[in-house]
Amino acid sequence: MKVMAQMAMVMNLDKCIGCHTCSVTCKQAWTNRSGMEYVWFNNVETRPGLGYPRGYEDQEKWQGGWVRGKDGRLQLRAGGRLKKLLTIFSNPKMPSMQDYYEPWTYDYETLLNAPAQDQVPVAQPYSLISGKKHQITWSANWDDDLGGSQEHAAHDVMLKGLEDKVKLEFEQTFMFYLPRICEHCLNPSCAAACPSGAIYKRSEDGIVLVDQDRCRGWRMCVTGCPYKKVYFNHKTGKAEKCTFCYPRIEVGIPTVCAETCVGRLRYIGLILYDADKVLEAASVANEHDLYDAQREVFLDPHDPQVQREAEAAGIPVDWIEAAQRSPIYTLINKYKVALPLHPEYRTMPMVWYIPPLSPVVDVVAETGADAEDADTLFAAIEKMRIPMEYLANLFTAGDTAPIERVLRTMAAMRSYMRDLNLGNDPQPEIPASVGMTEEEMYAMYRLLALAKYDERYVIPSAHGEEAHALEELATDCPVSGFDEELTRGSGPFGEGSGGYSTVAVENFQMLQNRQTSDQLVGGGSKAGRVNLLNWDGKGMPPGLFPERNGDTAGSGAADGPEQP
């Protein structure tokens, strides 16, 4: 047994309202730079729908993840090492910008400077890539809330085999939101595909990172990741990906996307697993067994044997304690309500999902029946094969049994708690029908519905004695003492070359620039790096406000826009 610790996340999909707050805050924190305009480390997609990048789940096309060879060994779907090197000059399976979307901004200046005229002036969209006028035909969530899905949703790869049965007419379809971040897989195919060995899994907490100094821009990781969660920064020529907000995790605070989640549906915690068993579990023959195989890789932190092994492996005691309090282990292995996204890619993903009951509840409620009655819900779950099969395609490689079990559990919790809330006599047979005790059911309800901040996020911080080695120097002001040379944007050999700077410094500088500058930061061209989303009300990009007599556009920079 080789015990390792992994930071993991569980999302409760029933609670996601599709507000995209997580996406926007993540973007503000991590990808609001040129070269990353099209990148969303966190994206929220409406399902059924195409997702982002468009149709990424079609592995016939994109060749991401692992496949099990005839000899039972895993190999990268896109080909072995030699093939990787031979196709290095032009990666045949890399999505182009159009598969994500071409980022754009609007020509606000013309809008505001337009002379008096009969027609209302229009702010034209300009591409941030070519700098030319741009016809917007796609975006990161074009089919949000099923917009245009009569046309698009039929191409959802996960609807394969269900095409004839699913009605995509707006009123009759089911729908839910799927927020996605990098899965920080136990068996990451992005790392395996990297020729330079720049992508690594941190041995302390399992976070998968790209070493920016070692990445040489071969782009193989973009193909390797079946979730398409490694992105190519087209300005610096390096790959970037979700960092699980490691500077925050190291000091014990949750990721930006979880912290700001409006639905409070994200859980973060440590989970212990047996690294020796990962490959074996990822190579089981039957795809339907992958879910259980991965569950068995996780170790029970309450087991004294596991604790001893963990200590022997150098995991600090407070980390083991954190693993015991972790909501992740509880949701995955105790209540067994969380499921992995696309286990069939065999990367052993570590962001798990509690599938939504809402498609079922909605339908029941529409018929006028009691949508909180256990029997009605059970019957509906049994009848509604299509959402069930669709969810199974997402979370269990097509096996509906676990989906049905989870949804029955959620339905049981719903109706059991209704009785409690209304002061009726609780019905112990409801939890019993899904194999739980009343106490367990209530505890699960507490975790899913009421859990406070520190119950949802159980994050042991890195150790104090290592503090100076952490990214956000926790013992010092993170942005102090960095000389000019180290923090400027680009060196003599093109964007991004020259010295390094830390994430904190970079963000600090960017924010400072933006707040104090009169210009559109970064050249001020229409293809520059600032769009209105990035403008925070401080400082005045020229043309944003009409000029007044004797007043130049920038005079209000220090104290904000003046009132007329």
398 binds, among other proteins, ligand SF4, none (CB under 5 to 8 A by kind): none
Instruction: Please report whether residue 94 would count as binding other proteins according to CB under 8 A.
Output: yes
User: What mask, x for binding other proteins by CB under 8 A, covers residues 491 to 530?
Assistant: xxxx-xxxxx-x------------------------x---
Instruction: Please report whether residue 294 would count as binding ligand SF4 according to CB under 6 A.
Output: no
| Contact pick of 196, 324, 519, 534 for other proteins (by CB under 8 A) | 196
Instruction: Please report whether residue 135 would count as binding other proteins according to CB under 8 A.
Output: no
Instruction: Please report whether residue 103 would count as binding other proteins according to CB under 8 A.
Output: no
According to DSSP, residue 30 is labeled: I
| Contact pick of 22, 306, 310, 388 for ligand SF4 (by CB under 6 A) | 22
- Among residues 386, 16, 338, which one has the least CA distance to residue 177? 16
Instruction: Give the DSSP H/E element, type plus range, for residue 380.
Output: helix 374-383
Q: Which is nearer to other proteins, 83 or 308 (CB)?
A: 83
Residue type, 1: M
152 binds, among ligand SF4, other proteins, none (CB under 5 to 8 A by kind): none
Per DSSP, the three-state class of 177 is: strand
Q: Which is nearer to other proteins, 87 or 513 (CB)?
A: 87
User: What mask, x for binding other proteins by CB under 8 A, covers residues 245 to 264?
Assistant: -xx--x--------------
Task: Say if residues 79 and 64 touch (Cβ distance below 8 Å).
Answer: no
Q: Which is nearer to other proteins, 88 or 432 (CB)?
A: 88
Residue type, 257: C
Residue type, 438: E
229 binds, among other proteins, ligand SF4, none (CB under 5 to 8 A by kind): ligand SF4
User: What mask, x for binding ligand SF4 by CB under 6 A, covers residues 35 to 74?
Assistant: ------xx-x------------------------------
Task: For the CB of residue 504, give the shortest distance to other proteins in the complex, in Å.
Answer: 11
Q: Tokens at residue 98, please?
A: 């159009």
User: What mask, x for binding ligand SF4 by CB under 6 A, covers residues 373 to 412?
Assistant: ----------------------------------------
Instruction: Please report whether residue 223 would count as binding ligand SF4 according to CB under 6 A.
Output: no
| Contact pick of 70, 71, 90, 563 for other proteins (by CB under 8 A) | 90
Distance CA 136, CA 130 (A): 13
CB burial of residue 353 (10 Å; 0-12, 13-18, 19+):
buried
261 binds, among other proteins, ligand SF4, none (CB under 5 to 8 A by kind): ligand SF4
Distance CA 56, CA 173 (A): 22
- Among residues 391, 354, 396, 348, which one has the least CA distance to residue 267? 354
Instruction: Please report whether residue 82 would count as binding other proteins according to CB under 8 A.
Output: yes
Instruction: Please report whether residue 200 would count as binding other proteins according to CB under 8 A.
Output: yes
Q: Which of residues 167-206 bind ligand SF4 (CB under 6 A)?
A: 177, 179, 181-185, 188-190
Q: Which is nearer to other proteins, 358 or 501 (CB)?
A: 501
Task: Say if residues 177 and 44 touch (Cβ distance below 8 Å).
Answer: yes
| Contact pick of 7, 76, 239, 265 for ligand SF4 (by CB under 6 A) | 265
179 binds, among ligand SF4, other proteins, none (CB under 5 to 8 A by kind): ligand SF4
- Among residues 275, 278, 267, which one has the least CA distance to residue 325? 267
Distance CA 42, CA 38 (A): 12
Task: Say if residues 360 and 381 touch (Cβ distance below 8 Å).
Answer: yes
| Contact pick of 151, 375, 466, 547 for other proteins (by CB under 8 A) | 466
Q: Which is nearer to other proteins, 64 or 496 (CB)?
A: 496
Instruction: Please report whether residue 317 would count as binding other proteins according to CB under 8 A.
Output: no
Number of residues that bind other proteins (CB under 8 A): 73
DSSP line for 71-105:
TS-EEETT--HHHHHHTTTS-TTPPPHHHH---EE
Task: Say if residues 406 and 336 touch (Cβ distance below 8 Å).
Answer: yes
- Among residues 509, 470, 507, 516, which one has the least CA distance to residue 202? 470
- Residue 365 sits at φ, ψ, to 5 deg, of -60, -35
Distance CA 142, CA 51 (A): 9
Residue type, 102: E
Instruction: Please report whether residue 68 would count as binding other proteins according to CB under 8 A.
Output: no
Distance CA 338, CA 352 (A): 6
Catalog residues that contact ligand SF4 under the rule CB under 6 A: 16-22, 26, 29-30, 41-42, 44, 177, 179, 181-185, 188-190, 208, 225, 227, 229-230, 241-245, 255-257, 261-263, 265, 347
